[in-house]
């Protein structure tokens, strides 16, 4: 699995010209078919994606090129899940969040439980990113809960990245979180 940009034409161009590197060995990736079609729930209109597959010319391993707005094994856009995480950090409960987002309560509870189970690891990873990338980094002040600390670290890392690279400021903190975690923010295998 490799997280790539949201512009499919640009990703295709990068793939054809050998600009994308294998996350395992660093060799160039080449086109190798398509993954199954996925429908991601977003705001008012579902987003249909068919992720590209690529194969490494060096080690021969294939990878799905997941757009930066999608998380592995999740049917909702990163911004939707991020909104739920931010609402929880602000003190909202799973039922209220689910109603506000129009999602099943069990789905929202699953997101919140998975994130809560790794909140300290997420906080550490994104605080390190914040300090390493920020022009004049200011780590977030301690929040009321470890969950809120982790959400603050994600948002703080996005602000720090935008201070160094202005184009990153056009990307939501949750897309940045997808890119940093390689789409695995809520997957069992990260961090």
Pairing of strands 62-67, 2-4: parallel
Mean pLDDT, the chain, as a whole number? Answer: 93
Q: What is the reported pTM?
A: 0.90
The residue-averaged pLDDT of 167-179 equals 87
Does 190 reside within a domain? no
Secondary structure of residue 34 in the 3-state scheme:
strand
Per-residue burial over 9-38, b if 16 or more Cβ lie within 10 Å, else e, is: eebeebbeeeebebeeeeeebeeeeebeeb
- Beta pairing, strands 29-34 & 38-40: unpaired
Tens of pLDDT, residues 112-169: 999 999 999 999 999 999 999 988 888 888 889 999 999 999 999 999 998 888 877 7
Last residue of a domain, one of 67, 88, 118: 67
**Could you give the CA distance from residue 185 to residue 126 in angstroms, rounded to a whole number?**
11
Strands 52-56 and 38-40 turn out to be: unpaired
Domain match, 60 and 112 both = no
Is residue 34 located within the same domain as residue 91?
no
Q: Give tens-digit pLDDT for 7-29.
A: 999 999 999 999 999 999 999 99
Give the tokens for residue 7. Answer: 């512009």
151 and 83 housed in the same domain: yes
Residue 31 is predicted with a pLDDT of 95
Q: Is residue 72 part of a domain?
A: no
Q: Are 4 and 68 in contact (CB under 8 A)?
A: yes
Residue where the block lists tokens 């980094």: 137
Residue keyed to tokens 């994130």? 115
Q: Does residue 104 lie within any of the structural domains? A: yes
Q: Are residues 7 and 48 in the same domain?
A: yes
Torsion of CA 38, 56, 68, 103, to 10 degrees: 30
Q: How many domains, in total, are found in the chain? A: 2
Query: pLDDT digits over 96-106, tens only?
Result: 999 999 999 99
**Phi/psi of residue 49, nearest 5 degrees:** -130, 145
> Same domain, yes or no, for 87 and 60?
no
The helix (run of H) or strand (run of E) holding residue 28 is none
Give the range of the structural domain holding residue 52, as residue numbers without chain letter.
2-67
């Amino acid at each position: 699995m490799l997280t790539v940009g949201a512009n499919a034409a640009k990703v295709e161009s990068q793939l054809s010209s050998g600009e994308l590197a294998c996350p395992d060995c660093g060799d160039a990736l080449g086109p190798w078919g398509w993954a199954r079609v996925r429908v991601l729930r977003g705001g008012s209109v579902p987003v249909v994606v068919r992720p590209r597959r690529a194969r490494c010319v060096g080690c021969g391993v294939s990878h799905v090129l997941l757009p930066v707005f999608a998380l592995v094994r999740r049917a909702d856009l990163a911004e939707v899940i991020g909104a739920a995480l931010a609402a929880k950090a602000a003190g909202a409960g799973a039922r209220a969040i689910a109603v506000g987002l129009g999602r099943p309560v069990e789905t929202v509870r699953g997101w919140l439980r998975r994130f809560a189970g790794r909140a300290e690891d997420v906080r550490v990873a994104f605080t390190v990113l914040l300090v390493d990338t920020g022009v004049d980094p200011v780590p977030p002040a301690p929040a009321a809960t470890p969950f809120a600390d982790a959400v603050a670290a994600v948002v703080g890392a996005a602000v720090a990245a935008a201070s160094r690279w202005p184009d990153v400021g056009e990307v939501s903190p949750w897309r940045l979180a997808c890119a940093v975690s390689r789409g695995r923010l809520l997957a069992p295998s990260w961090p």
